Amino acid sequence: MEKNGKIVTTVSIIAIISIVFVALIFIGPSPGGFLILPPPSAGKTITPIYGRNTTIDSNNYGILIDSGNNIIEDDLTITAGKINGISVLNSTKLENCTSTSTSLSSIHIYNDAKLTMRNINAPMLTIFLHNNSELVIENSTINQVALADNSKVQVKNSIVQQITDLALSGTISFLGSSEIEILPNSTVTYLMLMRNSTLYINNASINSINMACPYKTIGLSGPPLPAKIINSTILALGISEGSSAIVYNSMVTIAIVSGIARLTLNGSSVSTLAYGIICYQGTTNINNGLLPAPGTYENNTRIINMPLPASNLVSVVANNSAIVYINGWSTMSSLVLNLYDTASAQINNVNVSNLAMGIGTATTTISDNSQLSVMNSNITSLNSYGNSQALIRNSTVSGNIISTVVTPSIQAAENSKVTFNNCSAKNIISISMNSSLIAMNNSFMPIVSISTTNTVSLNFSTIIQSLTVTSPKIGLPTGNVKIVNCSIYILGISGSAVASIENCSITSLAEGYVIYSGTILYNENGLSGPGNYVNYTTIINSPIGSSSILYLEVNNTANININDLPTLGLAILLVDNASATLDNASFTTLNTYNNSKVILYNSSTIGITGFAFFLDKSNATIDTNSQIDTILFMGASIGTIRNSTINSLTVQGSSRVTAQLSSFTSISCYGSNTSDHTIKIYDSIVSALIFSSW
């Protein structure tokens, strides 16, 4: 909003909340926040988790309801497989096991089943809705409700901590449209909508609402209906992308409207408004915080029958062939810039200090055939797609830090092109996939990650603290990364990445190889054996302080045996029936795909983030004092764990794992089988046993 063409400044909390909201949209919720919903499995008749002779500190089980019109009132106690006379399937069967605590943590409703919960106090309970199921919550306290498909929830005179319609299972599923009603005297702490769901709120209190409807959703089901909020109290209302809302006679502390979104405020009280403009034609000049009169743009927020709140411009969208100039803006707390079609933008002398959590300045996304020029400015991040082009000169890319997690500063994909001249970056540059073109000239880039099928060039005394070059195509020579006249402290290149390094200074080199046939042995003497291996790195006139082999890609039924390398921290990738045996070895990452097989003896992950992911019908045996931080089984993979110590084990979908004589900090189950238990545990110790979804 504006008065006399001058933007009214606001408190910095707008920028903090708006950037956090945008971050949630781009990077998605974490498992510690909103819930991950795997797709439903057919034939849910077998108990997913079975345990025998095992000690469990905390047993968190779930129950399944898949038919009928059911009522649970006053009590959640299960007796002889029933709650209030309702037959349910328990997720967990334990024989001769000891549990310090046992609690019902989740209810899973499928098909056309309906459930009404009355007078239930369950602040740790999560309810999952699938298919066309329906839920009514009356006079109750619930932790979370997560909706998928075309499910419905109605909340009456109740307290719910979190409600979300975001269904995640490796990739985001936007299919279906849920319905959410929050009725009088109800309180919801967090509400997140990411699909075409319908939202109606009346005489309720909401702490935070985040709404976004990505374009892929609109393409599947058409644009969503506006959310309706009546006579309610909202602390923070965030609307982004294709979402819209109409707010009547309500009290809103902070409203944030970003991108191609729409908000109508009618007869309401809003303390602070962060709004955006959509430039659709001609040229729009934003100079030192001043907006011209409307004519080339429209406001994404409409105010009716109420005074203008304190407002701040936080979002600029340009589409069609619109042109935007942003000049000399030093008081801006945050800005999200999105360019589409053949639109273009020039940013000059836009510099602001970072706010709390390192957040500040401009976040920019360009796509289609748009063009961006940045000079003498400080931007937080840039995402480029399609055939877009960006030129960044004499500028700083500061990056985002959200809850101590650093997110990428620059991401380039598809056929986009980004050029840096005389720039510096504080955090991460991530160059991803497809045919993106990147040039970094005379710049300082602390952490750079490149995965591309096309050309990336780093030239003319670019200084890089850590550079990783990987290939998006496993085992195949891919990309064309050229690094010339650069100083690199740590350089890692995977075996299938095509890279040329010339006239550089490299303090430490981590090499990669592709093993494509036969059997190879890797020990302290290096690679040997009758098999065949190759890499695609060329190094010319570049002194190297030290080097080691860290990246190993094994494919095409090839096999590798890794022995007595307990401190190296390998990155291992197996695909297409490949196999590996590790004996007294360590790794940071281990990924297996497509019927690959791995056996671990007395092996371990290095660091608190080390992981092993077994996908696509892989087979893994973990044995003999192995110590792994994080393990994930997905895609019908099979696992056996014996005599080992595991921090976190997660089994999803139709995978199956058997554990014996082992110790686990946590075991989580996100799937079920029609033929056997998903997880079987014998003679082991488990701190937390968690069932999350059928």
SS (H, E, C) 347-383: EECCCCCCCHHHCCEEEEEECCCCEEEEECCEEEEEE
Cα–Cα nearest to 268, from 226, 239, 238, 305: 305
Residue 180 class from Cβ within 10 Å (0-12 exposed, 13-18 middle, 19+ buried)?
Answer: buried
Q: Residue 84, SS3?
A: coil
Can you name the residues that pair with 641 across neighbouring β-strands? 622, 659
Please give the pLDDT value at position 426: 67
CB-based contact 611:620 (threshold 8 Å): no
How far apart CA 131 and CA 207 sit, in angstroms, is 28
Amino acid in the structure at residue 362: A
CA distances from 55 to 59, 78, 192, 361 (A): 10, 22, 37, 52
Instruction: Tell me the chain's radius of gyration from C-alpha atoms.
Output: 27
Beta-strand pair 663-670/645-652? parallel
How far apart CA 513 and CA 551 sit, in angstroms, is 6
Can you name the residues that pair with 658 across neighbouring β-strands? 640, 680
- Which tokens in the block code for residue 89? 């399937």
Q: What does the buried/exposed string (b/e) look like for 539-578 if buried means 16 or more CB atoms within 10 Å of the residue's CB?
A: beebebeeeebbbbbbbeebbbbbeebeebbbbbbbbbbb
Would you mind telling me the total number of residues written for the chain in this entry? 694
CB-based contact 483:502 (threshold 8 Å): yes
Amino acid in the structure at residue 277: I
Amino acid in the structure at residue 595: N
- Note the helical H segments in 186-255: 215-221
Number of Cβ within a 10 Å radius of residue 451: 23
CA 576 to chain centre: 27
Tokens 């409207």 belong to residue: 257
Number of Cβ within a 10 Å radius of residue 202: 16
Cα–Cα nearest to 330, from 351, 355, 353, 311: 351
Please give the pLDDT value at position 28: 31
Please give the pLDDT value at position 430: 67
DSSP letter at 538?
E
Helix (H) or strand (E) run with residue 20 in it: helix 13-27
Amino acid in the structure at residue 455: T
DSSP for 539-587?
A: EES--EEEEEEEEEEE-TT-EEEEEEEEEEEEEEEE-SS-EEEEEEEEE
Tokens 């700083």 belong to residue: 396
How far apart CA 677 and CA 682 sit, in angstroms, is 13
Cα–Cα nearest to 441, from 459, 429, 453, 455: 459
Please give the pLDDT value at position 284: 95
Please give the pLDDT value at position 175: 67
Tokens 């997560």 belong to residue: 146
- Which tokens in the block code for residue 628? 């792994």
CB-based contact 609:589 (threshold 8 Å): no
Please give the pLDDT value at position 350: 82
How far apart CA 688 and CA 681 sit, in angstroms, is 13
Q: Residue 609, SS3?
A: coil
CA distances from 406 to 379, 384, 399, 449 (A): 15, 19, 7, 13
Question: In this structure, what are the phi and psi dihedrals at residue 354, rounded to the nearest 5 degrees?
Answer: -70, 145
How far apart CA 231 and CA 237 sit, in angstroms, is 14
User: What is the tally of helices (H) and strands (E) in the chain?
Assistant: 2, 70
Which positions of the chain have pLDDT values less than 50?
1-42, 168-172, 215-222, 352-361, 402-404
Q: Residue 13, SS3?
A: helix
How far apart CA 630 and CA 612 sit, in angstroms, is 6
CB-based contact 167:37 (threshold 8 Å): yes
Can you name the residues that pair with 478 across neighbouring β-strands? 497
How far apart CA 380 and CA 333 sit, in angstroms, is 12
Please give the pLDDT value at position 128: 92
Cα–Cα nearest to 286, from 338, 321, 225, 328: 328
23: left (phi over 0), alpha (psi -120 to 50) or beta: alpha
- The residues, ordered by sequence, that sit 6+ positions from 164 with a Cβ below 8 Å of its Cβ are 29, 34, 35, 144, 145, 146, 147, 190, 191, 192, 193, 194
Q: Please work out, in degrees rounded to the nearest 5, the angle formed at the alpha carbon of residue 204 by the alpha carbons of 202 and 210.
A: 95
DSSP for 222-269?
A: -PPPPEEEES-EEEEEEEEET-EEEEES-EEEEEEE-SS-EEEEES-E
Q: pTM value? A: 0.85
How far apart CA 617 and CA 596 sit, in angstroms, is 7
Amino acid in the structure at residue 148: A
Number of Cβ within a 10 Å radius of residue 205: 17
Number of Cβ within a 10 Å radius of residue 457: 18
Amino acid in the structure at residue 89: L
Q: What is the pLDDT of residues 337-372, one digit of tens each?
A: 888 889 999 989 886 432 222 223 356 677 888 999
Q: What is the pLDDT of residues 417-472, one digit of tens each?
A: 888 888 887 666 666 556 667 777 887 777 787 877 777 777 765 677 888 888 87
Can you name the residues that pair with 546 across neighbouring β-strands? 508
Tokens 């890089």 belong to residue: 464
